Amino acid sequence: MRLSLWLGLSLSAALARAAPYKGCQHKVKESIYGPPRGWVKQSPAPPNHIIELKIALPQPNFSVLEQHLWEVSDPDHERYGDHLSKEETDALMAPHQDSVDAVNEWLASHGFAEEHLIRSSAKDWVTIRVPVSLAEEMLDTTYHVYHHAETGDSVVRTTSYSLPEILHEHVDLIQPTTMFARFKAFKSTLHWAGADSSTSTPSSGTITGPAGNQVDASCNNTITLTCLRQLYNAVGYQTSATNGNKFGLTGYLGQYANIDDLQMFFQDQNPAAYGSNFTFVSVHGGINNQSIAAAGVEADLDTQFGFGLTYPTPGTFYSTYGEPPYIPDALETTNTNEPYSYWLDYVLSMSDLPQAISTSYGDDEQTVPYSYAVRACNGFAALGARGVSILFSSGDYGVGDGDPDPATQQCFTNDGRNVTAFIPEFPASCPYVTSVGGLVNIPETAVFFSGGGFSNYFARPSYQDTAVQGYLDKLAPGTYEGLYNPNGRGIPDVSAQAYDFLIVYQGEEGYVAGTSCSSPTFASFISMLNDARIDAGLPTLGFLNPFLYSTGYTALNDITEGNNPGCGTEGFNATIGWDPITGFGSPNFEKLKELVLAV
């Protein structure tokens, strides 16, 4: 909707509808101490710049949805696998009609008719397009352009906004306002180095892998599809192309999955898949530019290894619009930089979804407003209740704050105190997703950059109590006291290889590293398990964590070596059992298959 539409709105009609809000006192709804480290306030935002405001209405029945989630995800519950339908989750996420009416009335007072509103499937989100000047009037705030010196990104944001007091109980949050997350891909070194970056360890013969089987020694230098199948005990397992199983990957920030690169990769590492392709899905205007120069390292990595491991299972690649940096002078450019809600809106509106979906993006938890993190997390819970396994990379900076060099990290809280603290990642910290850490070498050890720790937003879920408390009990008294929240949700849950993955990028072979590698890898083996369950007439696994923490961990390869330094510390150590760097460890597919076919 262009600015001219606003000029055509009837001022008299708007004033007439404004009566219920005339003179109504605004009260601060949400504020932050200041922008996160690295963001600098610049000029006031151009008044005619168009932004999309997303308004979240309360979900009064979410606790009921959550109870369904626990029951259908618990292998010991009689309802295990009895997943909800789209219509059932929509009903449980829907707001009260009172909230719908109150927000409608407020929007009408500013000239918005129903045809100007975009509603989510459950009617719990309302999206409007407005010029900054009107947004400032509605929210009693002032927007500025903020610039990030390190990345060059710019966003239009504010540090506080208000609403009429009578609206507070009917609105959970409005964004983009106070959210400064940069939403980066998780690659520790962006280590596109060409195919000569492998180490000097022996590459001929075989070595013993974590499952006790023989693995090509070259896997200590170069990770390929064959290596992962050997390491994780899935050699010879063939998935179906027709049993209804599907596998999904997400792409953001202009990361385009190049099909020519994919075919070169298939030709080299999985010739049977050569000529096959994935289904492309555009979310909120996302595209998949096939210019070789536009190919994205992250998107190429995800699609090549994810779809290469699961072939011939049908694959879906979701591309969600949004590509920084924002140019403040381009008035028609919207810069939301909050893609989770757009992606969640889309997939929650679909009846037919991939049963396992991996995402390799995120940001420091503290850069995401708490209210927004909770709402996004609720969306992931709804997907889990519908039988979708959601996996996220745990992050690439150890316990640190985003600086890839542990020696220079400055891990400060963003609450005005500026005290040193470990920095967990979101969405990995959401208790309704499965977080995947990173490993390296054979025998497997924690890779130094593997993100891990404890959430400051989300309390430890009950399924983690025994495992996490067992780890905390092993720590020497006073270890890192005050640097982490011992009562928070522990990260990660599991782990997989994350270093020296050989991909094809812009027509050339080279290596990449990061938990961007580990999440699609682990998710691919979950997709294979779903394939096995479907063939056996069983429902898909859905939300994984209750299974993993009750019995699934017994079929994982425990990792007991390595640590994840950051914030001037050595970070956490891998140890026997669960730990906040490798979780419960890497998959043993055959052992997992036995377990999942027995529940």
Annotated catalytic residue 302: yes
What CA–CA distances, in Å, run from 574 to 204, 438, 482, 559? Answer: 29, 11, 20, 6
Beta 434-440 vs 445-446: how paired, if at all?
Answer: antiparallel
Return the H-helix or E-strand segment holding 160. strand 160-164
What CA–CA distances, in Å, run from 328 to 44, 145, 338? Answer: 10, 7, 17
306 DSSP assignment: H
3-state secondary structure of 181: coil
Q: Which amino acid is at 237?
A: Y
Of 52, 261, 300, 302, which residue is the catalytic one?
302
- With DSSP H G I counted as helix, E B as strand and the rest as coil, what are the percentages for the chain, rounded to 5? 30, 20, 45
Identify the sign of the CA torsion 461, 355, 296, 179. negative
Tokens for 387? Answer: 């039988």
Of 298, 396, 425, 579, which residue is the catalytic one?
298
Tokens for 396? Answer: 């690439």
10 Å Cβ neighbour count for 5?
11
What CA–CA distances, in Å, run from 427 to 353, 432, 442, 511? Answer: 20, 9, 29, 26
Of 162, 516, 519, 524, which residue is the catalytic one?
516
For the residues of 466-515, what is the DSSP string, one character each?
A: HHHHHHHHHSPTTTTTTTS-TTEEEE-SEEEE-S-EEEEETTEEEEE-SH
**Residues marked as catalytic:** 298, 302, 516
